[in-house]
Structure 1
């Protein structure tokens, strides 16, 4: 099988990923448990490498920075006594916290400006134009439907669950399945289901080999990109369901 390299922009940069982890772990940004954050950060990096995604240099630089801070935190602290008051050395996390606070401030400002731009876009200062060619274009997803970023995070969660499962017996076999063949297998599996019935996201990952897992995920991304499947989740922590769209497209043409 020919090697395929894909770059998936899940986060806008390493600081964006760190803010996501801080929010997820529900920790104080001014008192970051550097060991926990570093472990979670490296787990995401390893997941991206498992998918053979291109990991930008800035992510690796941040990984090295976190490891350096973690090492400094393990060193004994030097304390100086001045007039019966103890003055501790500088916290090695201060520079990182300052960067995160500054990034969060500009990210919030960017979101506010984006909302203002959306509001301003509702005002028109030119004559009406023919927009019939765009009437079928709808960039917003329907209620409960997910995008590729949600699918990537679900894949990461599935990999973590598989690591915790103890393998009793493993059979090593040659894996010659291509992405195109996997797409056909997935479409056939969904087509056998009753109308309006879907498959869970985890049900497609039955193989044990790393190559087969990655091939399956790439096939799902391609099907989602071309609109041949849709991904929905009724509520947080509920199973992610995949549905075929071929029948819906046929109904639309009939109508």
Structure 2
């Protein structure tokens, strides 16, 4: 038997680093997918990595109005010393972070310092019966106007906004893809009828005879002629060789069929050929 010492596995080695107790603990973070149960000792956090802004202002007037309303100061009698001191402390903070943003605030700070210095001086003499001008008057007027506009904007913002509070309902209705031909006017029917009469006069016979013609019979003839066919030209429904009386009765039969909505007379566009077809009866 060999007397050489055997190397213990890491799980049985008492000198190995102890495993973290993960029972009933929540990982602080994950690094490359592995949980961390304690803060690393070599972690460096830059001083400006975390910043907390408790209040956000839209401009110098907004900041001034906040300082006045927060401390329940009378806006018509502003204590310039205290308000200027608080205002300058805020400006010093934003100068360290954003110099461009602080430019507008610095302009208002100069105005506050000027008003404060003017209040320390003796007031200018005014005309008899008039009070001396208050150096804060212009600032108070701007603050009151800004407060009115701010309240109006808050009221407008409370109203429902399209895209934020509601959306416009949109419903798509699929329309029928069947083409709808334009209606044929009476003038175009008359013109087509005159053309048929002109052709009939060219092939007319001078045989005089008496013949009784039935409109209903010719209505049936027209329906049989249209049956099984999608479209038939208007001119093809007339046979000039049968004479003018038959043409007249056939035309009256067509008008009666159109009146009873048994046929449809259509035309693709103006001055295009006129077609006749059987009307589709809705199911």
Q: Same fold (TM over 0.5)?
A: no
Instruction: Work out which of the two has the higher radius of gyration on C-alpha atoms and give 1 or 2.
Output: 2
TM-score, with length taken from structure 2: 0.38
Point out the structure with the larger helix share.
Answer: 1
